[in-house]
Amino acid sequence: MNIRDIKGIGEKTEKLFNKLSIYTDRDLIEYYPRNYDYFTPPITLDMIDSTNGTPAIEGIIVSNPVNKKIRNLNILSVNVKDNNGEILKLTWFNMPYLKNSLKIGYKFIFRGQIKRDRFERNPVMEQPVIFSLADYDKKLGVLQPVYPLTKGLSNNMITKAVSVALENISSDEDYLPESIRNRANLMKYKDAIRDVHFPVNKEKVIEARKRLIFDEFFIFLLGLRSFKSNEQIIDNNYVIKNNDESDRLIKNLPYSLTDAQTKVLNEIRCDLSSPKVMNRLVQGDVGCGKTIIAFLSLIDVVMEGYQGALMVPTEVLATQHYESLCELRDKYDLNINPVLLTGSVTAANKRIIYKDIETGSVDIVIGTHALIQEKVIYKNLALVITDEQHRFGVKQREKLNEKGNMPHILVMSATPIPRTLAIILYGDLDISVIDTMPSNRLPIKNCVVDRNYRPNAYKFIENQVRSGHQAYVICPMVEPMEEGENNSDLCDVISYTKSLKDELSDDITVEYLHGKMKPSMKNEIMERFAKNEINVLVSTTVIEVGVNVPNATVMMVEDAERFGLAGLHQLRGRVGRGGAQSYCIFVSGAKNKETRERLEILNSSNDGFYIANKDLSLRGPGDFFGIRQSGDMSFKLGDIYADASTLKLTADILREVTDGKIVLNTKESEALKHKLEKYMDMHYAINL
């Protein structure tokens, strides 16, 4: 059903839903809540420090509302008295129409974040939501879904639309056989999809998420298993031997390869010369030296008369890799001819590049997904390297593979995933790990601080900029209210950029970057930052992959408690890439001891794999009330750290199915095949 056919959705609202990639009722019911809001009983002001979540205050209005105008901002304020007689000031921005409802003597329940301002005698609640006592009582103890929003589309609008869409789900709609559901202790699909949107309690959310995440993992792993079974039987059409050219480069480099780099390079070379096609993953922290290993592998292939391709997720990163390889070629007189192919290359230049690739006059192609377009025809593609491969679906990787006659596959990732999970997630690949850093890398200095440290952090950033360096500031949200009306306390990129410009000197350039921007705009911002035309970049985690800026020496992460440790380590890897000392400042609004101790782990180690294992051991199913941690990985709901137990269970059950311990009848097999083909064609070629 088209989203327009849902009751209450007109043409204007349809376009807003389309902005969120919601076009059908199926898209809508799979647009899962980002968080849940839990309404707790009203409290008094003296209980604020001991409460969790968003507080609600029952109060009587004791002053006439006052309207003030500051520039283009209309500020409405009024005082209320709680049940202990303490005064709370309420303020609303650009909501003057509330004035007529706020009369002395009226009693309401006001819900919102409370702040203590040094310029105010009484605590202040900003942008509170107003409830009658009866209306608030109806919400007590119930989890309310909170969805990612776009401007013009409210949480309430999405909630109503989802309610209507859920009515169309048949009770018989479930592709997963009963034998598997019973083995994994999973609820039915219809119950799960209802309870993930409108749960009666936290336990139901956990149960529903387990079922839906199991589905995601099951399909993902089944696709990988199919892919692996096909690849295992492929003979090596491109036997590559070690050659003097790459060995000469290794000897002439201004640094020595680490033992870990040498070990991984030998594993790759062994694969390239073996009777079977290489399918290998190289894992290693940002800055461990994966790129030079990729270049050496490409040179080995080119010296045997073949072509190689390197595909990366962003144009900026592709350009940087291309320029680095050209610099090596010119400096060490390498007999290679690389070319850069991205979406922004002009049509005329693309035609020239296509011809050069087809004739073989170009031997190394570096670029983005433009490498897999239909018009790109390789003469003799022998090696395909994908960098940060979790940013590409397996289907995309397969498309690039098809450009050659079963070329060797090398995928690289800086995502620190514990080996136990990596074996499951990258089931179609052999795994190599670069687990040591080059000796010339200065360890990043870290600190975990509360929000009161911000003025000092801003001074420190300004001093670093004055010294010629740059800084990142990371926020968990794109814009205010993104996660719902009761998360106003979280930092967002748009508002933070405005306030940071006020805090820093006028001659310091501050810009923002987030995933909702157009690709061309994102590329422009990243290029300007790489050229030091932007001094401070305020961003979401979109900068986790995509640009190498050795000049950046400060990483400041706001609301750090909202991210997983492995995700924070990934962000930290954006600095410390040059010769100067680098710093990471984790700012946390959390007051509980457990959260602070968890963040302190980042102080004790810069080892991504150690941190990933600690993240895995510390987090559990209760941690999903926050921001997703594990990047794309093709999952809408699943998180490889918080849901590691479900991932392992899924892998065990899939093994039992393929080993014949769980037997499916013809009807169940067909239902499973239909589900896979219908929903996962964008990621896998399914062969059941």
627: which residues sit within 8 A by CB, 6+ positions away? 34, 476, 562, 563
Structure confidence by residue, pLDDT tens digits, 557-570: 999 888 878 788 88
Q: Are 656 and 222 a contacting pair, CB within 8 Å?
A: no
List CB contacts of 21: < 8 A, sequence separation 6 or more. 27
Longest dimension (CA), the chain: 89
Confidence of residue 51 (pLDDT cuts 50, 70, 90): low
pLDDT-derived band of residue 486, with 50, 70 and 90 as boundaries?
very low
| Helices vs strands, H then E, count in the chain | 22, 23
Cα Rg of the chain (Å, integer): 27
Q: Contact, 392 vs 260, CB < 8 A?
A: no
Q: At what angle do helices 315-332 and 519-530 cross, to 10 degrees?
A: 40
Pairing of strands 35-38, 56-61: unpaired
Q: How confident is the model at residue 634 (pLDDT cuts 50, 70, 90)?
A: low
- At residue 134, the pLDDT reads 93
| Cβ(160)–Cβ(8) below 8 Å | yes
- Give the pLDDT confidence of 216-272 residue by residue, as tens digits: 888 888 777 765 555 556 788 888 987 788 889 999 998 899 999 999 999 999 999
Q: Is the pLDDT of residue 585 over 50?
A: yes
Domains and CATH numbers, the chain: 1-39+150-168 (no CATH), 40-140 (2.40.50.140), 174-233+651-688 (no CATH), 236-434 (3.40.50.300), 445-605+607-642 (3.40.50.300)
**DSSP characters for 283-342?**
EE-TTSSHHHHHHHHHHHHHHTT-EEEEE-S-HHHHHHHHHHHHHHHHHHT----EEEE-
Cα–Cα distance measured from residue 362 to residue 437, given in angstroms and rounded to the nearest whole number:
33
Distance CA 327, CA 310 (A): 17
Give the integer Cα–Cα distance in Å for 336 and 364: 8
Q: How far apart are CA 99 and CA 95, in angstroms?
A: 8
The whole-model pTM stands at: 0.69
Burial 53-64 (b: 16+ CB within 10 A, else e): ebbbbbbebeee
Report the share of the chain in percent with pLDDT over 70. Answer: 88
Count how many Cα atoms sit within 13 Å of the Cα of residue 524 in the half-sphere of its side chain.
7
Average pLDDT over residues 662-687: 63
Q: How sure is the predictor about 314, in pLDDT bands with cuts at 50, 70 and 90?
A: confident
Task: Encode burial over 521-542: b for 16+ CB neighbours within 10 A, e otherwise.
Answer: ebbebbbebbeeebbbbbbbbb
* pLDDT of amino acid 566: 78
Phi, then psi, of 144 in degrees rounded to 5: -105, 130
Q: Are 625 and 631 in contact (CB under 8 A)?
A: no
Pick the more confident residue, 428 or 155. 155
pLDDT at 318 over 60: yes
